[in-house]
């Protein structure tokens, strides 16, 4: 489709408003978190240099929620492009907010207990499962001609996974929300990679046939809020994202890809996140199989490079370079992975 000014203006509006909202509200939010003593409790298993970050305000994901929320509200009140919001957009926003609330609960318990452990792993996973099952049920109930069970592998060609598709959708949302969460370990790392993935996915949806007009707006708003957040999260960080932001980012990116049939493209855009969670899985499996041996000095992968003597800023910059490469490959792929003309979800 041709990208006219009428299409690009709302996207630019969403990005800039969300960025400015996060940028302007940043000092007030950070000061509020500091007054409330919502400081990060560093895991003592982390590299020793991280101990100096003890007490840095966390729950910075609140800035992203505010940025996205203000942008969407502005879209409803002052422009025509969200009147009324589409069911798909509402579903993505609900996934975003539900994950943010779950992350907020985890962050709050870490602060209250004065430890790096908030919700128990099974409690957090249970929350993710409930949110994901609700979204997968939405996919199932809104399926048209089994379209949502098809993965587009090439322009005009699909692979129908039947009910197995819903298993894939479940694993994608659970996996990506945890992958972003694990990546959030260095100043600017998760925020920068999320910015790239959100922009890439927004552009991939842009070039689809009509029917997905509102979906990219959320991603542009998310990308703008990530950029505003990075202003304060860049090294040395004044605030950390926390689970409030990381779970919300991963869950909403997965929801966007599933609704727009860009699942395979998202796997490319999110390659660095998947590399991080993959390093954790490999480390655990190898550790158990060899009864104590390790592949990496520490997982996730960014900690391995830190313990190998690479400076934190260098690790982040190189991961961002990896994110740019993933973005480029994903954009190339999006030219060949298209939603089928005349198909869609309501």
The mean pLDDT value for 95-113 works out to 92
Residue 8 has pLDDT above 70, yes or no: no
- Per-residue pLDDT averaged across 338-343, rounded? 49
With bands split at pLDDT 50, 70 and 90, how would you rate the model's confidence at 146? low
pLDDT at 115 over 80: no
Range of weakest confidence among 22-31, 126-135, 149-158, 307-316 = 149-158
Domain boundaries, the chain: 5-334
First to last CA, the chain: 20
Q: Is the pLDDT of residue 154 over 80?
A: no
pLDDT confidence band for 1 (50 / 70 / 90): very low
Phi, psi of 156, deg, nearest 5: 85, 0
- Predicted confidence at residue 198, as pLDDT, reads 96
Write out pLDDT tens, residues 267-290. 999 999 999 999 999 999 999 999
pLDDT grade for 342, boundaries at 50, 70 and 90: very low
Where b means 16+ CB within 10 Å and e means fewer, 232-262 reads: bbeeebbbbbbbbbbbbbbbbbbbbbbbbbb
Percent of the chain with pLDDT over 90: 64
Contact indicator for 43, 184 with CB cutoff of 8 Å: no
Region of residue 43 (left: phi > 0; alpha: psi -120 to 50; beta: else): beta
pLDDT digits (tens, 9 = 90+) for 241-266: 999 999 999 999 999 999 988 999 99
The top-scoring range by mean pLDDT among 3-17, 103-117, 204-218, 309-323 is 309-323
Which is more confident, 143 or 40?
143
The predicted-structure confidence for 13-72, as pLDDT tens digits, reads as follows 899 999 999 999 999 999 999 888 887 666 656 565 655 667 788 899 999 999 999 999
C-beta separation of 244 from 62 below 8 A:
yes
- What pTM does this model have? 0.91
């Amino acid at each position: 489709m041709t990208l006219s000014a009428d299409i690009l203006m709302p996207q630019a509006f969403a990005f800039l408003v969300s960025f400015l909202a996060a940028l302007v509200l940043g000092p007030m939010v950070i000061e509020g978190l500091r007054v409330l003593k919502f400081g990060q409790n560093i895991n003592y298993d982390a590299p020793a240099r991280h101990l100096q970050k003890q007490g840095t305000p966390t729950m910075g994901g609140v800035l992203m929620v505010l940025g996205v929320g203000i942008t969407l509200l502005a879209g409803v009140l002052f422009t025509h492009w969200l009147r009324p919001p589409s069911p798909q957009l509402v579903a993505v926003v609900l996934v975003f907010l539900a994950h943010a609330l779950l992350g907020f609960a985890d962050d709050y318990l870490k602060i209250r207990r004065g430890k790096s452990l908030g919700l128990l792993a099974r409690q957090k996973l249970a929350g993710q499962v409930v949110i994901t099952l609700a979204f997968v049920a939405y996919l199932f109930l809104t399926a048209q001609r089994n379209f949502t069970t098809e993965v587009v592998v090439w322009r005009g060609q699909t692979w129908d996974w039947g009910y197995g598709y819903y298993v894939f959708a479940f694993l994608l949302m659970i996996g990506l929300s945890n992958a972003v969460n694990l990546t959030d370990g260095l100043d600017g790392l998760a925020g920068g990679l999320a910015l790239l993935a959100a922009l890439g996915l927004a552009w991939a949806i842009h070039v689809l046939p009509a029917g997905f007009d509102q979906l990219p707006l959320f991603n542009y708003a998310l990308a703008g809020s990530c950029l505003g957040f990075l202003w304060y999260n860049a090294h040395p960080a004044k605030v950390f994202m926390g689970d409030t932001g990381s779970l919300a980012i991963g869950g909403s990116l997965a929801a966007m890809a599933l609704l727009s049939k860009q699942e395979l493209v998202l796997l490319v855009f999110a390659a660095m996140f998947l590399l991080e969670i993959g390093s954790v899985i490999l480390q655990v499996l190898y550790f158990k199989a060899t009864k104590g041996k390790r592949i990496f000095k520490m997982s996730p992968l960014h900690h391995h490079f830190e313990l190998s003597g690479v400076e934190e800023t260098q690790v982040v910059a190189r991961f961002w370079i990896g994110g740019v490469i993933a973005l480029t490959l994903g954009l190339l792929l999006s030219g060949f992975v298209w939603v089928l003309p005349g198909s869609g979800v309501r």
